[in-house]
Amino acid sequence: MSELIEIKQLETDAIKGLRYEVLWPHKNSVEECTIDPDNENSTFHIGATIEEEVVGTSTLIVDINPKFEEQNQYRLRAMATSPKIRGTRTGVAIVNRAIDELRKRDVKLLWCDARLIATGFYEKLGFKVKGDVYEVPNIGPHKLMYKEL
């Protein structure tokens, strides 16, 4: 890839288009591609851009999952990369940048609801599976995955 991919924090409005394209095409519009915690003070978005075009995104939110003992947890949500940059390790760079930021915040555990097609990606990053496969309505089968930081 000849263009420079930049990994950085992004605003909610910048990432909604990629969420719609990759994650939630079943929604009626780009404007519907927000989640309640998007604008909480503790929430942040790490993404990838090429010349200001968003080609990767992730959202990190405070969300305590009772299946884990750690009290200082964050949840990874709405992780997506554009099909045109897949295989470039951009997703890995996004997650690693997010983990760096979480460690600065003294977070002890990162967890996510991973689509089955993405579990291999997360396993390569050191995430582990907890529990069985479950269904997320309108989206499909998932596994609970986590990484101790």
Q: Is 132 a domain residue?
A: no
Specify the number of domains making up the chain: 1
Q: Is 123 a domain residue?
A: no
Determine the pLDDT at residue 139.
85
Tell which residue, 124, 126, 123, has the closest CA to residue 143. Answer: 123
Q: Own/partner pairs for 23-27, CB < 8 Å, 24+ apart?
A: 23/78, 23/80, 23/139, 24/139, 26/138
Q: Is 22 a domain residue?
A: yes
Q: Is 78 a domain residue?
A: yes
**CATH code, domain carrying 76:** 3.40.630.30
5-20: burial string, b at 16+ Cβ within 10 Å, e else: bebeebebebbbebbb
Q: Is 120 a domain residue?
A: no
Determine the pLDDT at residue 3.
72
Q: Is 34 a domain residue?
A: yes
Rounded to two decimals, what is the model's pTM? 0.92
Determine the pLDDT at residue 1.
47
Per-run averaged pLDDT (10 residues), the chain, 149 residues: 83 96 93 94 97 96 96 96 92 97 97 95 97 90 97
Provide the 3-class DSSP secondary structure of residue 68: coil
Strands 53-62 and 44-50: antiparallel
Q: Is 71 a domain residue?
A: yes
Q: Which domain holds residue 84?
A: 5-112
Q: Which residues contact 15 (CB under 8 A, 6 or more apart)?
A: 45, 47, 54, 57, 59, 78
Determine the pLDDT at residue 67.
96
